Amino acid sequence: MQKIIRRRDPVTTELSDGSSVHPLLARVYAGRGVSCAEQLNLALDQLLPPEGLLNAHLAAALLADALAGDKKILVVGDFDADGATSTTLAVSALRAFGAARVDFLVPNRFEYGYGLTPEIVALAAREQPDLIITVDNGISSLEGVEAARELGIATLITDHHLAGRELPQADVIVNPNQPGCTFASKNLAGVGVIFYVMLALRAELRSRNWFDSRPQVNLGHYLDLVALGTVADVVPLDYNNRILVAAGLARIRAGQARPGIHALLEVGSRPYRSVVASDLGFAVGPRINAAGRLEDMSIGIGCLLSEDMAEAAALAGRLQQLNLDRRVIEQGMQDEALQILAKLPLQAEQEPPLAMTLYQSGWHQGVIGILASRIKDRLHRPVIAFADGDPGQIKGSARSIPGIHIRDILDAVATRHPGLISKFGGHAMAAGLTLPLEAYDAFATAFTEEVARHAQDVELQAVIASDGELSERDFQLELANELRYAGPWGQHFPEPVFDGRFTIVSQRLVGEKHLKLVLSPPGSARVLDAIAFNVDLDIWPDQAIEQIDIAYRLDVNEFRGQRTVQLVVEHLVPVRS
């Protein structure tokens, strides 16, 4: 589907308090709701206090009692990067606080599914834990928590996913999105929630004079994990999350990252001293996720837990290979999905359906989420990709577009059609579900009908929001560098994107599917390097095209020690005479 470029509404080019910020950057900030320098203060003392997070004090008391009683603690995590960082943080911090018996369990997703299921509780019970802590999961685990209760195992649920109609009967639940929680930042990732629980625990232990005979614990040492999990989970970077991510990035740039993150940056060819949020999202996160998607997330957690550089490097190498394998599997599945789409009875000028469901026997469970995301990006429609699950069951991974709350859609389908969906859970933009294979066609119809009920006022055209046009004097290395580090940029606080028309000086393919360009602003002798990734090879390169309209990021390219301005092209349209 063709995207359109839409410029943000014109805004002031100065912050209200007269701070000395470049006018262009002030304009960018204002377009994201920042109007004064106070909102740019990302110091840790600006963090929301843990006292505002519902039940954090109860969780702290529960954990402090477990430490004092030398209880055995088992952390049950999720199998993505947020779950891996959450698990690593919980285990590492509890050990630092003095827990002598703490371990983790992240069961294979293909055998046990998502969340604290009764089967996972049965597996955990072999370790005879006194307390199970869930991280990045558990808010929907009614049966699993009940199974733990029947076995006499206490449960602490820490999660950030949306709650269902009923909450599990856990000993304590900490989740900013549970009913009754007034915590101002609803956008904490799972790793952010457990970080806040550890802040509350430290305060509780101080009140008990726990550190009179033990070293104090600096929780700042775990902010690299918080930054990684927050960015990788693509949660909105509200003010509180930007503080957390900025602190973690500063720690990494200072060479203080844990060996696993350092090793993953190396295999991803990202120099740690210049790391930004997008490096965590595109280089580190996918390599950790590959373990959970294809094999065993304990590999990713082991890499993050490791305190030895050689061991971390070896585990990072395994994750690198898994990520390469994932790419091959994903490409094959994407080719099959595009063949399915090509068979739809649509004319070229027609709009795609309001929603898409895709299923192919043999698709890999661990990769359907990425497949759904790729097709969603292509069509700008909610997409659910399914793969075979347990016998007679299929598992789906859903991705949505702004304005279509995918978990609410699934909830509505489940309400209107009882029994059609076996289970589901998730966020506004992503969700997972299971249903009987025989119900697939009925579900596909019900899902499309429900999306149609919510789509009347939704933008069904893919839009690239632009911060406007740059003048020739703006194409400077100093400004590009300032923009790069002015974030952290991410979800709901996007990296600056500009648009304009350029003359093509030269064009060629690199890396088989990336277009390397040399561009010139019209009427100017200035030339600029540009790169467009994953272009449509049916169109590019085309030496007959002399001008293009593009949306781009002003970036810095480092090559053989030289730093130059480079335009990273997000979207390009030929200008035909």
Domain spans of the chain, in order of start = 48-320, 344-454, 468-575
Residue 73 contacts residue 40 (beta carbons within 8 Å) = no
The answer on pLDDT for 573 being more than 90 is yes
What pLDDT, on the 0 to 100 scale, is given for residue 347? 47
What pLDDT, on the 0 to 100 scale, is given for residue 17? 60
> What's the whole-number average pLDDT of the chain?
93
The structure tokens listed for 480 are 């590009």
**Which stretch of 249-263, 290-304, 332-346 has the lowest confidence by average pLDDT?**
332-346
Peptide bond into 541 cis (omega under 30): yes
Which class in CATH covers the domain with range 344-454?
alpha beta
The closest of 378, 400, 390, 381 to 112, measured between CA atoms, is: 390
Specify the CATH number for 468-575; select among 2.40.50.460, 3.90.1170.50, 2.60.40.420, 1.10.10.10.
2.40.50.460
309: phi then psi, degrees, rounded to nearest 5? -65, -40
- Any idea which residue has 């629980």 for tokens? 197
Distance CA 357, CA 380 (A): 13
Q: What percent of the chain has pLDDT over 90?
A: 81
Angle between helices 142-150 and 118-125 (to 10 degrees): 30
Distance CA 289, CA 81 (A): 5
Q: What is the mean pLDDT of residues 96-116?
A: 86
**Which stretch of 132-141, 322-331, 521-530 has the lowest confidence by average pLDDT?**
521-530
- Confidence band (pLDDT; 50, 70, 90) for 400? very high
106: phi then psi, degrees, rounded to nearest 5? -130, 90
Cβ burial 358-393 (10 Å sphere, 16+ → b, else e): bbbeebbbbbbbbbbbbbbebbbbbbbbbbbbeeeb
Which class in CATH covers the domain with range 48-320?
alpha beta
The answer on pLDDT for 18 being more than 60 is no
Q: What is the mean pLDDT of residues 237-263?
A: 98
**Which stretch of 15-19, 535-539, 554-558 has the lowest confidence by average pLDDT?**
15-19
